Amino acid sequence: MSTILRRTTFIVPDARAAAAFYESVFGWTRFYDHSLIAKAGFPPVGPNDEPVELVLLKAEDPRVGMVGFLQYVNAPFDTAVPTRRTKVRMGESILVVQCDDVNAVHSRALAAGATVSMPPTDWTVPSHDGKSVIHLRSMSMFDPNGIYSEINQHL
């Protein structure tokens, strides 16, 4: 069986504003930006088809490594954004990003309104096979919508 993980999409109150944050912090570009009707059940929010705004951003790879932001125009649920987040929650996604300069990302993220939970710091993790270590400079943050990200630079 052949499967490919293409992207993760986050539900946000303003898809275009959410995308603009990632464009300014990481330099990602818009791949898709449209109004459409989300078929009831995709994702399951209510019994009816719902008008949505969907913005997809791409990084360097043209087919994978994308992130999406989905806005329900007449949201059938609470759209309050958690503020001043400091901890992740059970079942929550972690957006992991690799970059060339964590210090520069840190500066842009602060300027764009992120809440940094861990400033750039150096550490090591085991390699996938456990036979060596990977040296990283990493930071973590919550974006203005409360989405948690870990940003890594291989040293």
Q: Which fold has domain 95-154?
A: 3.30.720
Q: Are strands 133-142 and 115-126 parallel, antiparallel or unpaired?
A: antiparallel
Domain boundaries, the chain: 7-72, 95-154
Please state, in angstroms and rounded to a whole number, the distance separating the CA atoms of residues 4 and 117.
Answer: 31
3 state DSSP class of 124: strand
For 75-93, the pLDDT digits (tens) are 988 999 988 888 999 999 9
Note the Cα 11 to chain centre separation in Å. 10
Judge whether residue 65 has pLDDT over 80.
Answer: yes
- What's phi and psi for 70, nearest 5 deg? -115, 125
More confident of the two residues 1 and 107: 107
Given this chain, do its domains 7-72 and 95-154 carry the same CATH topology? Answer: yes
**Residue 62 pLDDT:** 64
Q: What is the pTM of this model?
A: 0.93
pLDDT band at 137 (very low <50, low <70, confident <90, very high): very high
Please state, in angstroms and rounded to a whole number, the distance separating the CA atoms of residues 86 and 111.
Answer: 18
Please state, in angstroms and rounded to a whole number, the distance separating the CA atoms of residues 79 and 77.
Answer: 6
Closest by CA position to 148, among listed 78, 63, 82: 82
- CATH number, span 7-72: 3.30.720
Lookup: tokens for 45: 């929010």
For 25-47, the pLDDT digits (tens) are 999 999 999 999 999 888 888 78
**Residue 36 pLDDT:** 96
Element (H, E) at 58: strand 50-58
User: In the predicted model, what is the mean pLDDT of residues 5-9?
Assistant: 90
3 state DSSP class of 97: strand
Determine contact, residues 93/71, Cβ cutoff 8 Å.
no
